[in-house]
Amino acid sequence: MTQSFPTSKSSTSQARRIAVYASLVLLAGCVPPATAPVVAPPPVVSAPVPVDPSRIESEATIATSIAATPGLNTLATELRIAELDQLLGGDGPYTLFAPSDAAFTRLAPGIASDLLAPENRAALVALLRYHVVAGTVTTEQLTDRIRAGGGRATLTTLGGQPIVATMTGDVITLTSVTGNRSYVEAADVAQVNGVIHVVNGVLVPVLP
């Protein structure tokens, strides 16, 4: 499922200006060539590297492990730009639902890169804090809470907005306040300051 983020009026206006400018440039260049054009081959797009939880060092902090693990590069970059790597490098403990690189490719085109722009920093911080819960919550504990709650459990994130956890078969399913879902695909990666659960989708909160 493709996920999308709300954009601010200023961002939308800027995007429209860029689109108009690009259209004008393209129209200016629409002159029939004298000879047949050389068609470049399509770019080769490599698939995201799957996350191998066995390669994540258990004696490291969450921030260190995210930065060092193939398949979590997008998340590592975003944490660094949002300066939340310092938080996840601290004492904690924290539970991080870590979207893989593949998860970010399921966002609407351009969103992942747009989030890195300085004017979108507030949205980036809100998005990342929405994937962090205070304390260490293992899948066993979360499954117990889901059963005790009649099939659902609510987690309060550091962003203040809740995530609802349910079960899809034997897989933990996370649903955001905006209705999109993510599934835990690599669970209970213990860290010195908490635990990492790798998820296959980006959870989208209500963004500022």
Which alpha helices (DSSP H) does the chain contain, by range? 9-28, 62-68, 73-81, 101-105, 111-114, 121-129, 139-148
Cβ neighbours of 73 (radius 10 Å): 16
- The predicted pLDDT at position 24 comes to 24
For residue 109, say if its preceding peptide bond is cis, omega within 30 degrees of 0: no
* Overall pTM surpassing 0.75 (yes/no): yes
pLDDT in tens, 111-148: 888 889 999 999 999 999 999 999 999 999 999 999 99
What's the confidence (pLDDT) of residue 125? Answer: 95
The one-letter amino acid code at 187 reads A
Burial class of 85 by CB neighbour count within 10 A (0 to 12, 13 to 18, 19+): buried
pLDDT digits (tens, 9 = 90+) for 66-116: 999 999 999 999 999 999 999 999 998 999 999 999 999 988 888 888 889
Tell me the torsion sign for CA atoms 51, 52, 53, 55.
Answer: negative
